[in-house]
Amino acid sequence: MLGLRTFRHGIHPPEWKAATRELPIRQFPFAPTLAVPLQQHLGSASVPIVREGESVVRGQPIARADGDLSVPMHAPATATVKRIAPMPGIAGRMLDAIFLEPRPGSTQETPDGDPCSLEEAAPAEILSAIQAAGIVGLGGAAFPTHVKLRVPDEVRVDTLIINGAECEPYLTTDHRVMLEQGEDVLHGVRYLLKATGAERAIVAIEANKPDAAAHLRGLIEAAPASPEGEVSVEVLRVKYPQGAEKMLISALLDRRVPSGGLPLDVNALCVNVATTAEIGRLLPHGRGIQERVITVTGPAVRDKGNYRIPIGTPLRFLLEQVGADPELTRVFLGGPMMGAAASSLDISITKGTSGVVAFTESEAERSRRREYPCIRCGYCVDACPMFLNPSQLAVLARNEEHERMAEEFRLMDCFECGSCSFVCPSHIPLVQHFRVAKAALRKARES
């Protein structure tokens, strides 16, 4: 373990993965009503192309992309469009959505569309097919994948990193995808290599998933050499936040993405392994993304597991199906470190939902800790993977010195991993201070 590659700094929170890591992916039932938000990704919201009362077939496009930084939406079920109306989003803001009522008795088969041939398609055609499939980053960021993969003419990508680290506590989604959809992952890697022109791909997996690493290595060895480029598996030391793309690039390539820069600045690209699997699964059939694998777990969940859940499934229905504890009080979409607390149980599962982690009132009570003044211990500085000074940033945040935070102390380099808050002995909610400061800074710069 000590000889494995990793990045500098970081933390080791409890993994809490044992409850679901051995559980195979199960298909989740359709809710009586599916609410598909039109804003599930960074960029412009999708534009509806169906009308109320219209019948749709599973996989049919129901909303088109609104420009380049946008993707279409597809029907998660053969259904009737009941209405197009606002619904609450994860942060409480109202979002337009298409409400669908699945048709009883339907086989719910998904017809094929226009396939994208790996052998015949040009890189630009692969990117167009990825956008047409509605694929965004499934690791949680939900950035349109076709935009991320677009490499400028003056840039050369030598390494594509497939992110299977899954360092977030509780989540085992990527682990199960690698075990059960290994062929899709490697097929997706070939599409990505061809689309980006990268010379090689490295599937990065933490050492707590040895079965996934062995499985993918076996598939690589058994398959003919990929004509698009070399594919390998690299096992990394278990550490949080290893799954952040800048940390992976540092650990695997010993390259440092510059402040305010992107992986392309160091000739690399990172793509989540579940995103890669969906590319390999959908593009050969010309289908769009209608569902995704999600870990549903936490102290308040009875039937924990990894489920393939239709996009638009209401959170309330999901929790009822898995037997939520009556004392349920807090639900995170994503993991407890970088996920977001749900503002309402009336929100829907979206493409960016990698996990649902539910806690009881008693668990939440134990997590509430009294905040004390900073004792200048430096633990937060030692933990920060971006080499920031969270203690100093917190002082400036309280004084609302937002521009100074950004210009002198690199506030915008913080990707809100929560490592500083986790190690703080004074229980200061450091990352929450930084989120508020960044939001205020963006608002001030826009005005």
Q: What is the dihedral of CA 249, 11, 403, 258, to 10 degrees?
A: -10
pLDDT at 407: 94
Q: What is the pLDDT of residues 84-97, one digit of tens each?
A: 999 999 878 899 99
Asked whether residue 360 carries a pLDDT value surpassing 70, the answer given is yes
Each residue of 60-86: pLDDT tens digit? 999 999 999 999 999 999 999 999 999
Q: Are 318 and 345 in contact (CB under 8 A)?
A: no
197-248 residue pLDDT tens: 999 999 999 999 999 999 999 999 999 888 899 999 999 999 999 999 999 9
For residues 272-288, average pLDDT: 98
Asked if the model's pLDDT at residue 366 lies above 70, the reply is: no
Contact 342, 397 (CB under 8 A): no
CATH superfamily of 123-285: NADH-ubiquinone oxidoreductase 51kDa subunit (3.40.50.11540)
Mean pLDDT of the chain: 95
The DSSP symbol for 344 reads -
The lowest-confidence range among 76-80, 83-87, 163-167, 361-365 is 361-365
Does the pLDDT value for residue 389 go beyond 60? yes
pLDDT at 365: 63
> Using CA atoms, how far apart are residues 212 and 366, in angstroms rounded to an integer?
34
Percent of the chain scored above 70 by pLDDT? 98
What local confidence, expressed as pLDDT, does residue 105 receive?
86
Q: Which residues, other chains included, contact 271 with Cβ-Cβ below 8 Å and sequence gap of 6+?
A: 137, 145, 148, 149, 160, 161, 162, 163, 192
Domain boundaries, the chain: 123-285, 379-446
Whole-number pLDDT of residue 289: 97
- Rounded Cα gap, residues 80 and 74, in angstroms: 13
- Residue 72 sits at the vertex; the CA angle it makes with 70 and 75, to the nearest 5 degrees, is 150
Residue 357, pLDDT > 90, answer: yes
Binned at pLDDT 50, 70 and 90, residue 1 comes out as low
Tens digits of residue pLDDT in 27-55: 999 999 999 999 999 999 999 999 999 99
- What percent of the chain lies above the pLDDT cut of 90? 92
pLDDT at 273 over 70: yes
Distances (CA, A) of 163 to 236, 271, 412: 11, 6, 23
